[in-house]
Structure 1
Amino acid sequence: MKVLAAMSGGVDSAVAAARAVDAGHDVVGVHLALSRMPGTLRSGARGCCTIEDSLDARRAAERLGIPFYVWDFSERFRDDVIDDFIAEYAAGRTPNPCMRCNERIKFAAVLEKALALGFDAVATGHYAHIVTDEAGHRELHRASDEAKDQSYVLGVLTSEQLAHAMFPLGTTPSKAVVRAEASERGLTVAQKPDSHDICFIPDGDTRGWLADRIPPAAGAIVDREGTQVGAHEGATSFTVGQRRGLNLGVPAPDGRPRFVLEVRPRSNEVVVGPREALAVRELAGARFTWAGLDPVASGIAVADASAPDAVAEFACEVQVRAHADPVPARARVAENDEAVLELGVTVDEPLDGVAPGQTAVIYVGTRVLGQCTIDRTVSAVTATAS
């Protein structure tokens, strides 16, 4: 096969490319330039996609003896990831830019260009595993190394994208094995630290970064009954579950700390309340996709006659953060009050501090079945949707 290896400049993507070469594929390396000012996107182990990373990727490609190119996706990245991130926060939501990058850049824009150039697959250094069933259908599964598993951030992949995806590290037992292999191959990135945090906010100051792009407007901090208990200088600087930095002028009647429960951009209010009010028993989202065959075609669930494409409730697990533990749940696809199909999930054990804008990934065993961007949640305490 003709394989395009996406090389970030890190050890994982370098070893993934090397394994694709060892497998006998015709491999070409490509580094994605996601910023017109790449020197600003790394601070220590924070950020990625810098000039330094591009040079590291080039050196790895030279060591492997494969052609290497840099593709400029900075404009697409700005439009589809950075601008989306700003818009979501302005709407009072908490987005996951890594999900958007995988969805719209690495496995949409890049794959589209790769296929147009005659490549059969795109290989990355993600820790996830693809399983092909007897009928030739591809399924996305968790990696063998649970600590490094990245199947959550790949939950946005569709059946068509999985058909052209390759994850050579999926069955690797640990990151230590990858680093040792890189060292044996003479790759200079063998001990390079992993990147962390949001790549386009290298100093980690999300609040300050947003304040420069969303003009802050003063507003009220209110309790669940609507009584003002404080004031803020900009609602976008608050996230669900936040406790510190609230500066409340009115203490809670019971004296206990209060947490952010909701951000309301229309009224410019921040709602606070007790920790137990963060517990969520239901979540739902209309923007959902299936990673491979849908649950009905997979034999996991049955169609619901209530509406076209509706799916009756079925057992699963749901994960709402990249490194969170999955929890037992029941999922279904049904029309909401506005006659729009949405993926809804009811958890067996309440989830803590789930915010609209986050991604809920549905698992059945180790298989990633699908995902949705959370539009609304229902509290386990008050049963009030937010």
Structure 2
Amino acid sequence: MENNRQKITFKCLEVLQPIGVMYVGAMDCSDLETITYADVRRLEIGKDNREIEDYIGIQRHLDPRREKEIGKYVNLVDATFPNSIIISVSSEFVKYDKETSIMEIDFKDDIAKVLDGQHRIAGLRHYEKAASTFQLVVSIYLDMELEDQAIVFSTINKEQKSVSNSLVADLFAFAESRSPQKTGHNIARALSKKEGSPLYNKIKILGKAETLSQTITQDTFVKSLLVYITNDKQSDRDFYKRNKNDKKAKLPYVHEKELKRHFLRNLFIDDFDDIQIAQIIWNYFYAVQQKWPNAWNETKNDSILNKSTGFIALMKFFKDAYLSFDKIGKVITKDEFKTIFDNMELTEEDFNTTKYVPGGMGISNLYKDLKTQSGII
């Protein structure tokens, strides 16, 4: 690809589809940012200051949080955008040579409307490797009518289906380098598959239950665990991937205040994640199982202890329980955890959807009751 102040020049394929001609090429992210704009959907205000019902534009407003997430992602060692950015541009700014398959686009601000990909383009503003290239696959429509632009936009966003987060978590089994995500996957698998485990056959590994006893999704398990291991799982994964051939490469230990929040982190850094962290989780939920065996083991429609509401509340309380022993980095035994629950007055009949409504409120209320009755300050 060649770029100067007047033109952006690149190879481009001409693609024929029912909607018309489309051109597909590769463009540098900085060039794409310069020539594009997002036609954001907004309510038009009339001169008489009354809101009229017509809406202008087809794009949604840019989400700063999403831009920040992508801005962080693009600087990872394995960042990629395999799907194309889709733009519409007037032919007055474009010249295409069919014989050479070369397209030239005027290098001017805001001449191409983004139909899909505005957050990716915005995220790439944060790309830090100015000396290297980050190209994007671009699908280009010329002189596209507004109706067709809207159809393309709505079709893309209507047909997109999200991938199960539990499936994403499970795919880390194939990763060669370490990461918090892989650790979470390994522990979820181990505790769910090992007979005798208090979590035996309770985790939906791929997000779908194979038996009635599987009441906790792998995604819920992994997310609840990783908050005690890392505050930046992507950066940790990036570190291990960049240094996968350096056996001496090691993340720095955390101390004091941060270790209070991520009390399992140093165990993870020491590569004890599949053994000691799993054992700590096992011992904790063993104490839960011993205290409320029926509520934990049985599956009833109105029961919450072994479902997401109960599990998330228990994992929030896990931090208080573990830290109460002042033995960070050590394995707390079953008997030690058991002393935390022995004096609690909650009965098995208390863990119902009436007392603890499924969702955030129920989680919060159960967590407060667990902490209050434990006597942990």
Q: Does the alignment reach a TM-score above 0.5?
A: no
Higher helix share: 2
Normalising by the smaller structure, the TM-score range is under 0.3
- Greater RCO (CA < 8 Å, at least 6 residues apart): 1
Tell me which protein shows more strand as a share of its residues: 1
Greater C-alpha radius of gyration: 2
TM-score under structure 1 length normalisation: 0.23
TM-score between both structures, scaled by the size of structure 2? 0.24
